[in-house]
Amino acid sequence: MTNPEKRNSKPDRGSISIDEEECKGCGLCVEACPTDVLHLSEHINHYGYPSATYMGAGCTGCGICFLACPEPGAITVLRLARRPSGTVIAEHMGELAS
Protein backbone atom coordinates (compact mmCIF):
# COMPACT_ATOMS: atom_id res chain seq x y z
CA MET A 1 0.00 0.00 0.00
CA THR A 2 2.96 2.35 0.37
CA ASN A 3 3.89 1.95 -3.27
CA PRO A 4 4.69 5.55 -4.28
CA GLU A 5 3.43 5.00 -7.81
CA LYS A 6 0.02 4.17 -6.49
CA ARG A 7 -0.05 7.16 -4.24
CA ASN A 8 0.64 9.44 -7.18
CA SER A 9 -2.19 8.01 -9.18
CA LYS A 10 -4.60 8.56 -6.31
CA PRO A 11 -7.79 10.16 -7.60
CA ASP A 12 -9.01 13.46 -6.17
CA ARG A 13 -10.96 13.20 -2.97
CA GLY A 14 -13.79 15.18 -4.44
CA SER A 15 -15.36 16.52 -7.54
CA ILE A 16 -18.16 18.93 -8.30
CA SER A 17 -20.70 19.54 -11.00
CA ILE A 18 -22.18 22.94 -11.77
CA ASP A 19 -25.54 23.60 -13.35
CA GLU A 20 -24.54 26.33 -15.78
CA GLU A 21 -28.05 27.59 -16.32
CA GLU A 22 -28.74 27.98 -12.62
CA CYS A 23 -25.49 29.79 -11.87
CA LYS A 24 -25.71 33.57 -11.64
CA GLY A 25 -21.99 34.13 -11.98
CA CYS A 26 -21.63 35.82 -8.62
CA GLY A 27 -18.16 34.40 -8.14
CA LEU A 28 -18.64 33.50 -4.48
CA CYS A 29 -17.71 29.86 -5.04
CA VAL A 30 -14.57 30.90 -6.89
CA GLU A 31 -13.60 33.04 -3.92
CA ALA A 32 -14.52 30.31 -1.44
CA CYS A 33 -12.70 27.34 -2.94
CA PRO A 34 -9.62 26.69 -0.78
CA THR A 35 -7.84 24.84 -3.56
CA ASP A 36 -8.58 27.37 -6.29
CA VAL A 37 -10.09 24.92 -8.69
CA LEU A 38 -13.06 27.05 -9.80
CA HIS A 39 -13.20 29.98 -12.17
CA LEU A 40 -15.81 31.99 -14.03
CA SER A 41 -15.98 30.86 -17.62
CA GLU A 42 -15.94 32.97 -20.76
CA HIS A 43 -19.16 31.30 -21.70
CA ILE A 44 -22.27 33.38 -21.02
CA ASN A 45 -25.30 31.41 -19.91
CA HIS A 46 -28.98 31.86 -20.72
CA TYR A 47 -29.31 34.58 -18.14
CA GLY A 48 -26.32 36.53 -19.38
CA TYR A 49 -23.94 35.49 -16.63
CA PRO A 50 -20.52 33.93 -16.97
CA SER A 51 -21.06 30.67 -15.15
CA ALA A 52 -18.71 29.05 -12.70
CA THR A 53 -16.64 26.17 -14.00
CA TYR A 54 -14.63 23.41 -12.37
CA MET A 55 -11.11 23.10 -13.73
CA GLY A 56 -11.51 19.36 -13.66
CA ALA A 57 -8.94 18.37 -11.05
CA GLY A 58 -7.89 19.16 -7.52
CA CYS A 59 -11.23 19.25 -5.74
CA THR A 60 -11.06 17.92 -2.20
CA GLY A 61 -14.83 17.60 -1.80
CA CYS A 62 -14.74 19.98 1.13
CA GLY A 63 -18.20 21.30 0.24
CA ILE A 64 -17.64 24.92 1.12
CA CYS A 65 -18.58 26.08 -2.39
CA PHE A 66 -21.94 24.40 -1.92
CA LEU A 67 -22.74 26.44 1.19
CA ALA A 68 -21.25 29.64 -0.24
CA CYS A 69 -23.40 29.47 -3.36
CA PRO A 70 -26.73 31.29 -3.08
CA GLU A 71 -28.50 29.17 -5.67
CA PRO A 72 -30.30 26.07 -4.42
CA GLY A 73 -28.91 23.52 -6.86
CA ALA A 74 -26.17 25.21 -8.88
CA ILE A 75 -23.44 23.15 -7.24
CA THR A 76 -23.36 19.44 -6.48
CA VAL A 77 -20.39 18.13 -4.52
CA LEU A 78 -19.14 14.56 -4.87
CA ARG A 79 -16.78 12.76 -2.55
CA LEU A 80 -14.90 9.54 -2.67
CA ALA A 81 -16.98 7.05 -0.77
CA ARG A 82 -14.12 5.85 1.38
CA ARG A 83 -14.93 8.75 3.64
CA PRO A 84 -17.54 7.82 6.18
CA SER A 85 -20.73 9.05 4.58
CA GLY A 86 -22.93 11.59 6.33
CA THR A 87 -20.01 13.65 7.63
CA VAL A 88 -21.54 16.96 8.60
CA ILE A 89 -20.05 19.64 6.38
CA ALA A 90 -19.93 22.15 9.17
CA GLU A 91 -17.66 19.92 11.22
CA HIS A 92 -15.51 19.33 8.27
CA MET A 93 -15.40 23.04 7.59
CA GLY A 94 -14.32 23.64 11.12
CA GLU A 95 -11.28 21.42 10.54
CA LEU A 96 -10.60 23.22 7.36
CA ALA A 97 -10.80 26.64 8.86
CA SER A 98 -8.55 25.90 11.79
Partner 1 sequence: MSDDLEMQYEVARSRPEAFYERFDRKDELQHQTHYCPGCGHGIIHKMVAQAIDELGIQNRTILISPVGCSVFAYYYFDVGNVQAAHGRAPAVATAVKRSRSQSIVISYQGDGDLSAIGSAEILHAANRGENISVIFVNNAIYSMTGGQVAPTTLLGQRSTTTPEGRSAEREGYPLRVSELLGALEAPVYIERVGIGDNKQIAQAYRAVRKAIENQVRGLGFSLVEILSTCPTIWKMSPVESQRWVHDVMEKTFPLGLIRERTKDAQPHETPAPAPADLRKVLGIADQARIVPHQVAKSATNLQVRVAGFGGQGVLLLGEILAEAGLNAGLEVSWLPSYGPEMRSGTSNCHVRISSEPIDSPLVTRPDVLVAMNEPSLHKFYESVPPGGWVLYNRDAMPGECKRTDLNVLARPFTQIAKDLGDARTGNMIMLGALIECTGAVPWQSVDAALRQMIKSEKWLELDRRALARGRELMREPVEEAVHEG
Q: From the list 4, 34, 35, 40, which residue makes contact with partner 1 (rule: CB under 8 A)?
A: 34
Shortest Å distance, C-beta 1 to ligand SF4: 25
DSSP code, position 52: E
Residue 89 binds ligand SF4, judged by CB under 6 A: no
Instruction: Give least dist CB 42 to ligand SF4, A.
Output: 14
Please give the residues from 10 up to 49 whose contact with ligand SF4 meets the rule CB under 6 A: 14, 16, 18, 23-29, 32-33, 35, 37-38
Residue pair 52/13 in contact (Cβ under 8 Å)? The answer is no
- Cα distances from 65 to residues 5, 14, 19, 26, 35, in angstroms, run 31, 12, 13, 12, 11
CB-count burial class (<10 Å; 0-12, 13-18, 19+) for 41: middle
Residues that bind ligand SF4 (CB under 6 A): 14, 16, 18, 23-29, 32-33, 35, 37-38, 51-52, 59-65, 68-69, 71, 74-75, 77
